[in-house]
Structure 1
Amino acid sequence: MTYSDAIIKRITSLCIEKEITINKLATLSGITQSTLNSMINGETKNPKLKTLRKIAMGFDMTVAELLDFPEMNELEFEDE
């Protein structure tokens, strides 16, 4: 699993859990739909911390909470 795969999985899981769409998350995060779509589609391989912070705020959580999940904590990532 790559870093971007893990981030995509986390964002997708949280959207399902919180019952919000990617479009709604973009609005809540204050980032453009195209930026978020680029991440979800795997076009953005290494999102900036600033972007992750905005996404975390959209989910009403800290960056630490956003990045605290098994794939990020336990697996070794393949080079992209």
Structure 2
Amino acid sequence: MQIGKVVAIRIEQLCRQHGMTLNKLGTVSGVTQSTLYNIVSGASKNPTVSTVKKICDGLDISIVEFFDDDLFQNLEQEIE
């Protein structure tokens, strides 16, 4: 899988774990709902580290916790 897809899956997982909708996550993180929906839908294939950090802040987790998941172990190499 590519990084954008994995980030989208991870955001959805964390929202479920925290009992939070994307709308609520947008409100508490300061990330626009359109940006969140673009990430989750795959329209935004390369979310910035800054956006991921804001999402982590909204979920009250560290960026290390965000990326500390088996999903990130099997990323496709994107440099050819």
Q: If the length of structure 2 is used for normalisation, what is the TM-score?
A: 0.91
Counterpart Cα distance in 1 of 2:2 and 2:49: 17
Counterpart Cα distance in 2 of 1:36 and 1:75: 23
Within 5 A, what are the aligned runs for 1:1-80? 1-72=1-72, 74-77=73-76, 79=78
The one-character-per-residue Cα deviations of 1:27-63 (angstroms, maximum 9, x if unpaired) are 1111110111110110111111110000000110111
> Structure 2: which 5+ runs fail to align?
none
Percent identical pairs in the alignment equals: 36
RMSD: 1.5
Q: If the length of structure 1 is used for normalisation, what is the TM-score?
A: 0.91
Deviating beyond 3 angstroms after TM superposition, the runs of 4 or more aligned structure 1 residues are none
Counterpart Cα distance in 1 of 2:16 and 2:77: 26
> Structure 1: which 5+ runs fail to align?
none
Number of residue pairs matched?
79
